[in-house]
Chain A
Amino acid sequence: MWKDKAMRLLMVSAASTSICLVVLIFFFLARESAPFIVKPGLGALFDTQWIPVSFIKERFGLLPLITGSALVTGLSMLFTIPLSVLGAIYIAEIASPVEREFLKPFIELLASIPSVVLGFFGLMVLAPLIKHFFGLGTGLTALTGAFLLTLMAIPTVITLSEDAINSVPRAYKDASQALGASDLQTIFQVIIPAALPGIIAAIMLGTGRVIGETMAVLMVTGNSALMTWSPLAPVRTMTATIAAEMGEVSFGSIHYHSLFWIGLVLLAVTFILNIIAQRVLVRYGMMK
């Protein structure tokens, strides 16, 4: 009997490790960011400028970083959604088994490219292309970052959307075709609406992946903390700011604490996206 109990205890602790870690991370972020509330106060985070190193006045406004992340993520999802959803429909419904066997490994391969390598590709290949295409002075723009992030989000969104489409009961398709609907009508009027919650969840999870990506955007977006909605302007994302400044910031300074606030905001955003995705899945019975 004691063996059963010991085994049970071992498994319980293994299963709860990740929960403990998440709680610890939250606790750690909260502890390191808390001193900022006292000095200079939370209002400072709503400044419109991020100037952490200054002889005049250091400013820790998160707004340009949030708009920077939002712009890059938004643009990237604009490309990702049509590409991945159409791709998933093709792979799940139209492609022959041979095509499927050919396409899927390549999509999975894309997911396994390290982001630094993609960033390097962006810097050397994509940035010059964008520079020439739009006649710009330099190719380090929000758009370049968005293209790279699209490459990273596509595998996630395609794979999850394909699962959602595959989980639509066979009977729906048969019934639709029995009523005389064409293949296209069946796909767009029966299967896609039925798989929509799963596709939305896939998009949410892809967005979470894109927001949290660091290395590639650090290398190609130019990192100017501008508040702008122009795709051709340089932007500074939240992740890139933490990565670039954490290494050299003096421990315990206001700048140091402000970086943890960025971390909190990022964590909150990805947390909310994940919760929404799960809710959508549970609500429509696609996940128990």
Chain B
Amino acid sequence: MLIIKKKIFPWLAVLLLLLQTSCDSRDKASLSGETKDQKMISVKGSDTMVHLTSSWAEQYMAQNPGTQVSVTGGGSGTGIAGLLNGTTDICASSREIQAKEKALAVQKKIDIVEHAVARDGLAIIVNPANPVSELSMEQLRRIFTGEYANWQQLGGPALPIIVLSRESSSGTFVFFQEFVLEKADYSPKARLLAGTSALVQSVAADKGAIAYVGLAFALEAKTSVKMMPVKSAENAPAVLPSDETVRAGSYPVARPLYLYTNGNGSPEVQAFIDFSLSAAGQQIVQETGYVKVR
């Protein structure tokens, strides 16, 4: 069973390649001659950022017909591994590169360059029927580590808290653990669901549920779930996540999103990074539900 799983990836890669080449040849047929010096850039990494990076890629390719940008997800870890193994030009990551990975890069003589290109806020979502109106970072930590088990302990109704989280393979899982749980372990009772939409759906259906999702997803689902204002400290004001509060840094559960490159990369890679930070690129950041850095 496992060997099959492992073997699927090379086949998939071959398939993708075939698709890619067939697309190329079609392009060549239609654009005849002009595409002889077609340049390729690959962007790989964070599933959170796939929507954003592919929107960038689309517009970038429209403006620079000589360049093909291919975007794949797989997770921040996969992307960084790809950059280290030389299988991708640009890595999209929703977390900062770890010390372990940096050490590996030095070993492989890869000069990792970091570009902060956008910001992402994690919204805390609960069921709309939940009357609790604000939570502090401390309370969030205690909820997700399992110290609080009932909404009564937070001034709510007598209802068991159902803690929902992403799978441990997700970059968001690690970010939330590091940032909100202060590196403590999640409650063993936390249910780990495979994907953001499963989280939103469970929170919409279950009264005692609480989960964390990217701001863009929460804004999209705001009719079926309730976003929770968060206080950075006990006596600080509770802040609702929004573009303004995430950019200003007043909303506490927010993170930067990065593109990583090997050195400054080829001229095409540089041009793509410049594009992501340009006014047009940052406009796309806003349109896809993230927060501009410039």
**Are A223 and B192 neighbours in the complex by a CB distance under 8 Å?**
yes
Chain A count of residues within 8 A CB distance of the other chain: 41
User: When chains A and B are docked, how far (Å) is the Cα of A212 from the Cα of B1?
Assistant: 9
Kindly name the residue among B3, B177, B205 whose own CB sees the greatest number of chain A CB atoms within 10 A: B3
**Are B177 and A55 neighbours in the complex by a CB distance under 8 Å?**
yes
A214 to chain B, nearest CB (A): 9
**Are B1 and A263 neighbours in the complex by a CB distance under 8 Å?**
yes
**Are A223 and B193 neighbours in the complex by a CB distance under 8 Å?**
yes
Does any Cβ of A come within 8 Å of B159's Cβ?
A: yes
**Are A245 and B183 neighbours in the complex by a CB distance under 8 Å?**
no
State which of B2, B78, B174, B193 has its C-beta within 8 Å of the C-beta of A53: B174
**Are B189 and A247 neighbours in the complex by a CB distance under 8 Å?**
no
**Are A248 and B185 neighbours in the complex by a CB distance under 8 Å?**
no
Does any Cβ of A come within 8 Å of B81's Cβ?
A: yes
**Are A248 and B77 neighbours in the complex by a CB distance under 8 Å?**
yes
B46 to chain A, nearest CB (A): 11
State which of A56, A137, A212, A248 has its C-beta within 8 Å of the C-beta of B159: A137
**Are A138 and B162 neighbours in the complex by a CB distance under 8 Å?**
yes
Stretch from B13-21, B164-172, B234-242 contacting the other chain: B164-172
B residues less than 8 Å from A131 (CB atoms): 205-206
Does any Cβ of B come within 8 Å of A54's Cβ?
A: yes
Does any Cβ of B come within 8 Å of A234's Cβ?
A: yes
User: When chains A and B are docked, how far (Å) is the Cα of A49 from the Cα of B198?
Assistant: 25
B residues less than 8 Å from A168 (CB atoms): none
User: When chains A and B are docked, how far (Å) is the Cα of A242 from the Cα of B4?
Assistant: 13
Does any Cβ of A come within 8 Å of B109's Cβ?
A: no
User: When chains A and B are docked, how far (Å) is the Cα of A128 from the Cα of B81?
Assistant: 40
**A16-51 toward B: CB 8 Å interface, digit per residue (1/0)?**
000001001100110000000000000000000101
State which of A21, A137, A219, A244 has its C-beta within 8 Å of the C-beta of B206: A137
Does any Cβ of B come within 8 Å of A231's Cβ?
A: no
Does any Cβ of A come within 8 Å of B51's Cβ?
A: no
User: When chains A and B are docked, how far (Å) is the Cα of A250 from the Cα of B84?
Assistant: 12
**B174-200 toward A: CB 8 Å interface, digit per residue (1/0)?**
100110000111001111111000100
A221 to chain B, nearest CB (A): 9
Does any Cβ of A come within 8 Å of B66's Cβ?
A: no
Does any Cβ of B come within 8 Å of A249's Cβ?
A: yes
State which of B81, B160, B185 has its C-beta within 8 Å of the C-beta of A250: B81
**B66-103 toward A: CB 8 Å interface, digit per residue (1/0)?**
00000000110110010000000000000000000000
A residues less than 8 Å from B167 (CB atoms): 223, 244-245
User: When chains A and B are docked, how far (Å) is the Cα of A219 from the Cα of B193?
Assistant: 8
User: When chains A and B are docked, how far (Å) is the Cα of A218 from the Cα of B194?
Assistant: 8
**Are B188 and A224 neighbours in the complex by a CB distance under 8 Å?**
yes
Given contacts A54-B185, A248-B75, A250-B77, contact A28 B194 (CB under 8 A): no
Does any Cβ of A come within 8 Å of B5's Cβ?
A: yes
**Are B189 and A226 neighbours in the complex by a CB distance under 8 Å?**
yes
Find the A residue at minimum CB distance from B182: A55
User: When chains A and B are docked, how far (Å) is the Cα of A55 from the Cα of B131?
Assistant: 33
User: When chains A and B are docked, how far (Å) is the Cα of A223 from the Cα of B189?
Assistant: 9
**Are B189 and A224 neighbours in the complex by a CB distance under 8 Å?**
yes
**Are B77 and A56 neighbours in the complex by a CB distance under 8 Å?**
no
Does any Cβ of B come within 8 Å of A148's Cβ?
A: no
Find the B residue at minimum CB distance from A248: B169
Find the A residue at minimum CB distance from B2: A263
B97 to chain A, nearest CB (A): 13
Given contacts A131-B206, A242-B2, contact A56 B183 (CB under 8 A): yes
Within A230-249, which residues are at the interface with B (CB < 8 Å)?
Answer: 234, 236, 242, 244-249
Does any Cβ of A come within 8 Å of B202's Cβ?
A: yes
Kindly name the residue among A28, A55, A226, A263 whose own CB sees the greatest number of chain B CB atoms within 10 A: A55
User: When chains A and B are docked, how far (Å) is the Cα of A29 from the Cα of B4?
Assistant: 12
B residues less than 8 Å from A246 (CB atoms): 5
Does any Cβ of A come within 8 Å of B208's Cβ?
A: yes
User: When chains A and B are docked, how far (Å) is the Cα of A25 from the Cα of B169?
Assistant: 25
**Are A56 and B192 neighbours in the complex by a CB distance under 8 Å?**
no
A52 to chain B, nearest CB (A): 6
User: When chains A and B are docked, how far (Å) is the Cα of A224 from the Cα of B168?
Assistant: 11
B residues less than 8 Å from A248 (CB atoms): 74-75, 77-78, 169-170
**A184-212 toward B: CB 8 Å interface, digit per residue (1/0)?**
00000000000000000000000000001
Given contacts A24-B3, A263-B1, contact A137 B208 (CB under 8 A): yes
Find the B residue at minimum CB distance from A24: B3
A residues less than 8 Å from B169 (CB atoms): 244-245, 247-249
A residues less than 8 Å from B183 (CB atoms): 55-56
Find the B residue at minimum CB distance from A245: B169
Find the A residue at minimum CB distance from B184: A56
Find the B residue at minimum CB distance from A255: B168
User: When chains A and B are docked, how far (Å) is the Cα of A203 from the Cα of B285?
Assistant: 55
In the assembled complex, 22 residue pairs joining A and B whose CB atoms fall closer than 8 Å, in A order, are A24-B3, A49-B188, A56-B183, A56-B184, A123-B201, A137-B206, A140-B191, A219-B194, A222-B191, A223-B167, A223-B191, A224-B188, A224-B192, A225-B188, A226-B189, A236-B192, A245-B169, A247-B78, A248-B169, A248-B170, A251-B81, A266-B1
The 7 closest A-B pairs by CB, nearest first: A248-B169, A55-B183, A222-B191, A53-B168, A223-B192, A138-B206, A137-B208
